[in-house]
């Protein structure tokens, strides 16, 4: 497979983010581009770091633990985001490695993360994942359960949750799902929204996304 022109792709995505923000009267500075580097070879990731990209997303703890320690040795500070499902028995490694976790979705995981945060003295930024399409195969709390789960995180486990995350169902208009996530976050007083991928990040920005998770549009197709 041909190596994509990473600097050109990065410039294009940054320009699209700026245009989407301008189109709804927002500042592009409010939006963090998370480059989703799962399955991508280190050379492509290094090329993106050279463009000034600092936030990266991985969906597996094991894969990230294997490739990031070396990549992270770059002089600029990196922020690593876990965007995939997290098993409780990987909470220790996840808290040690990641600066943000976007897939908090159940009490058992909240308990494990709270324990590890206390033990390690680390506080990764936390997003609660909401299953906005109520898809049985997808992770995330049901929308109607989100307020209760957020209260549990705070009251029972002392976890500060920063925002909400969603992956809308494929093949549907994502805008109503993004809007629903924004309303849930507003009702809970949460400022951050992790939503939007390569195909729909402009729509997500129009609906209030603060974090967009973009893989293919930056790196080309995954293997
Ligand atoms: C893979 C992945 C992305 C990136 O998807 P693209 O369509 O390649 O931009 C975003 N979010 C999550 C949770 C992912 O697993």
Please write the tens of the pLDDT for every residue from 150-181: 999 999 999 999 999 999 999 999 999 999 99
Q: Average pLDDT, stretch 176-191?
A: 98
Q: Average pLDDT, stretch 141-155?
A: 98
Q: Average pLDDT, stretch 179-198?
A: 98
Question: What average pLDDT is seen over the chain?
Answer: 96
Say if pTM beats, i.e. exceeds, 0.75: yes
Predicted confidence (pLDDT) at residue 2 exceeds the cutoff of 60: no
pLDDT digits (tens, 9 = 90+) for 120-135: 999 999 999 999 999 9
Pocket of ligand 1 (CB under 6 A): 36, 38, 59, 83-84, 167, 197-199, 213-217
Please give the pLDDT value at position 3.
Answer: 67
* Secondary structure of residue 48 in the 3-state scheme: helix
Output the DSSP codes for 156-207: TT---EEEEE--PPTTS-SHHHHHHHHHHHHHHT--EEE---TTTHHHHHHT
Predicted confidence (pLDDT) at residue 77 exceeds the cutoff of 90: no
Predicted confidence (pLDDT) at residue 73 exceeds the cutoff of 90: no
Percent of the chain with pLDDT over 70: 99
- Alpha carbon of 155 to ligand 1 centroid (Å): 31
**Residue with CA at minimum distance from ligand 1 atom 12:** 83
Q: Report the Cα 92 to chain-centroid distance in Å.
A: 19
Angle at 52 between CA 218 and CA 223, to 5 degrees: 25
Confidence at 72, pLDDT banded by 50, 70, 90: confident
Please give the pLDDT value at position 68.
Answer: 92
Predicted confidence (pLDDT) at residue 88 exceeds the cutoff of 60: yes
């Amino acid at each position: 497979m041909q190596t994509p022109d990473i600097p050109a792709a990065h410039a294009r995505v940054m320009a699209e983010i700026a245009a989407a923000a301008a189109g709804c009267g927002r500042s592009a500075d409010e939006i963090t581009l998370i480059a989703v580097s799962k399955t991508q070879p280190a050379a492509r990731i290094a090329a993106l770091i050279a463009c000034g990209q600092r936030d990266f997303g991985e969906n597996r703890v094991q894969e990230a633990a294997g490739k990031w320690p070396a990549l992270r040795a770059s002089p600029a500070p990196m922020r690593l985001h876990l965007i995939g499902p997290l098993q409780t028995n990987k909470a220790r490694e996840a808290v040690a490695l990641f600066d943000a976790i976007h897939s908090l979705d159940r009490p058992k995981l909240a308990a494990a993360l709270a324990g590890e945060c206390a033990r390690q003295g680390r506080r990764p930024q936390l997003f609660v994942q909401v299953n906005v399409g109520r898809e049985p195969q997808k992770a995330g709390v049901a929308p109607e359960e989100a307020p209760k789960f957020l209260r549990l995180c705070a009251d029972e486990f002392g976890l500060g949750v920063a925002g909400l995350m969603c992956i809308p169902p494929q093949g549907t208009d994502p805008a109503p799902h993004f809007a629903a996530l924004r309303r849930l976050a507003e009702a809970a007083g949460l400022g951050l929204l992790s939503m939007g991928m390569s195909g729909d990040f402009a729509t997500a920005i129009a609906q209030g996304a603060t974090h967009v998770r973009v893989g293919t549009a930056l790196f080309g197709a995954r293997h």
